[in-house]
Structure 1
Amino acid sequence: MADGAIEQTVQIERVNRVGWIVLNRPGQINAINPALRLEVTQALEQLDSDPEMGVIVIRGAGERGFCAGADIKAQSDATSLPTLRAGMTPGWIEALDRVRKPVIAAIHGFCLGGGLEIAMACDMRIAAPSAVFGLPETSLGLIPGGGGTQRLPRIVGLGRALDLLLTGERIDAAEAHRIGLVSRLATASDHLIDEVQVLAERIAAKPASALAYVKEAARDGLEMDLRAGLKLEKDLFVLLMSTDDRREAAAAFKEKRQPVFTGR
């Protein structure tokens, strides 16, 4: 599956039309340090601009987890306000907001702190039964700094989010699925990668413009009032009506054949 590496802390793998970003610090449960932040951003930009890739998946290397959050040693070495701000803005987790292609988090083992913030910034979260989720920052005298206080309430609701944020308690994959933090569970931990690949290929087979616009409508519309969101949806719908891929989809349906999309 391997395609290559940008640098040591992140690997890129390409399988059919699915680009995998692998957080590659397994000895530290893929904890986030400055190099990983930079390389994830570069990997996202590289795959989002690659016309051969239809979907991006982020996963963690090793058996212990997706990502255990911030590398405490790296964080403790950066205590000045300018250094901390430089590590947080711009282009880190926010880079996921700029990606037009669908992004899936494939989660196993520990998914804590900044690791959960990465996952929440993705469009879909698929978890292995082994996954464990939590935002422990208040126990460290902090609050989440990568979007956790904003994305979690939008995903699971304010009350449940504050329960997790204030207590710092961990929840298992079944509970995360029950409250809507993850959208799907893999049938078994060792099936996660294969099942996510199948799902991602199914999504990647659709017209790229339709995927980008439906993502834009849902994500941007969430920040608008209903009237503005409906207008955005209508405008994007009209744009898609004139595309070659929309016409090809209609023709293939009538002719009972598989469509051949060109990205136009």
Structure 2
Amino acid sequence: MSLPDFEGLDQWSLAASQKDSSTGSNDVRIGIDRTAAVAILQLSRPAKRNALTQAMMDHLIYVLDQLDQDGDVRAVVLMGTKKGAFSAGVDISELTQLTTGDAHERRFLSDLNGAFERFSKPIIAAVEGLALGGGFEVALSCDIIYAAENATFGLPEVSISTIPGAGGTQRLVRTLGKYKAMELILSRQTISGQELAQRGLVSRAFDANEDVVLEAKKLAARIATYSRPVVNMAKQAVLAAENNHLEAGMAVEKQLYYMTFSLNDFKEGTSAFLNKQPPEFKHH
């Protein structure tokens, strides 16, 4: 399957799906493999290295909200340009138009953060090429990152006299530690996908002979074979560790664990295991 052309995928027209079709854009592409229950989202502004405009972010927010309600989709892959850039960050020409008051009034980037935070299904970022500034932060907002070994990550905002504003400082400290995060941000250093995999931020890094997007889709398809509510609960439990101390996180985990016992899929999964048969999950 040729993912850049979305061959074999059910292509979703963003403009047709919005109430105001005049705001439609080809800068975010959507393809759905309904057999695998996987959606592929592509940031598609290659001439600008997928720099994020406000319109692109609005479209991405809309699409995530719609996919979260789509019962036929159980996992998502977010990609940039195949063998090109994931995203070079927020479009600087738009950024220069913002004032502090405008940013507060528009809650700039907060809506995008919120869309990822409330999305209940697993999202895998497939990163090739550049993932800088807001592009890196979008990848960090995903649940899993697959990357090319030679992909370039960084938060270079200090070089244009601003700082990361979509969670970059907070998430890097949690994953790389204060000292490495401080060095990367204050010196605008970049770091490779290979090194981030060694440090545990990138789940897997792939060499030039491997297809990052295809590998991400394989993972998404595997996750999608499991019970949708159970996968969502597992995601909630893992994310609870980010925002709670250990005791509180353990309490969340226990509550979610107990909730799985009431699911029909729990009965199906355990029965299939005992009878040495493949489960047939109904996703409830």
Q: TM-score, normalised by structure 2?
A: 0.88
| 1:4 matched residue in structure 2 | 12
Question: SS at the partner of 2:86?
Answer: strand
Aligned-residue identity in percent: 34
The residue that corresponds to 1:30 in the other structure is 50
Which residue identity does 2:156 align to in structure 1? P
* Selected match of 2:274 from 248, 254, 263: 254
- How many angstroms apart in 2 are the aligned matches of 1:209 and 1:87? 31
Secondary structure in structure 1 of the residue aligned to 2:200: coil
The aligned amino acid for 1:141 is: S
Question: How do 1:232-251 and structure 2 match up within 5 A?
Answer: 232-251=252-271
Deviation at 1:60, TM superposition (A): 0.6
How far has the Cα of 1:228 moved from its partner?
1.3
Q: Give distance in 2, aligned partners of 1:44 and 1:189.
A: 31
Q: Distance in 1 between matches of 2:46 and 2:13?
A: 15
Superimposed CA distance per residue, residues 236-257 of structure 1 (whole angstroms, 9 cap, x where no aligned partner)? 1110011100110011112222
Calculate the aligned-residue CA RMSD, in Å.
Answer: 1.5
Cα distance in 2 between the residues matched to 1:90 and 1:121: 12
| Partner secondary structure for residue 127 of structure 1 | strand
In the TM superposition, residue 217 of structure 1 has moved relative to its aligned partner by 1.1
2:174 to 154, 159, 177: 154
Of 121, 124, 142, the match for 2:162: 142
**Is 1:81 the equivalent of 2:124?**
no
Match of 1:103 in 2: 123
Asked if the contact 2:148–2:194 (Cα under 8 Å) also holds between the matched residues in 1, the reply is no
Give ranges in structure 1 of 5+ residues lacking alignment.
Answer: none
Alignment check: 8 A CA contact 1:18 1:57 kept: yes
Maintained 8 Å contact 1:18/1:55:
yes
The partner residue of 1:54 within 37, 54, 74 is 74
Residue 13 of structure 1 aligns to a residue in which SS?
strand
- TM-score between the two structures when normalised by the length of structure 1: 0.95
Q: Which amino acid aligns with 2:31?
A: E
When residues 71 and 5 of structure 1 are mapped into structure 2, their CA distance, relative to the original with a 3 A threshold, is same
Alignment of 1:110-259 (within 5 A): 110-188=130-208, 191-259=211-279
Whether the 8 Å contact between 2:125 and 2:216 is mirrored in structure 1 is no
Q: Deviations over 1:50-69 (max 9, x none)?
A: 11111111111253210000
DSSP 3-state at the match of 1:63: coil
Please report how far the alpha carbon of residue 80 of structure 1 lies from its aligned counterpart in structure 2 after TM superposition.
2.1
Alpha-carbon distance in 2 for matches of 1:170, 1:221: 27
Specify the code of the residue in structure 2 equivalent to 1:218: V
Deviates more, 1:250-259 or 1:108-117: 250-259
Q: Give yes or no for contact 1:130–1:189 (8 Å, CA) kept in 2.
A: no
Q: CA deviation at 1:187?
A: 4.2
Q: Determine helix, strand or coil for the equivalent of 1:263.
A: coil
**Which piece of structure 1 moves more, 190-199 or 37-46?**
190-199
Cα distance in structure 2, aligned partners of 1:256 and 1:44: 37
Q: How far apart, in 2, do the equivalents of 1:259 and 1:197 lie? A: 22
How many positions carry a matched residue from both structures? 263
* In structure 2, distance between residues paired with 1:153 and 1:121: 14
Corresponding residue number in structure 2 for 1:14: 32
Query: 1:136/1:189 Cα in 2 relative to 1: closer, same or farther (>3 Å)?
Result: farther
1:87 Cα shift? Answer: 5.6
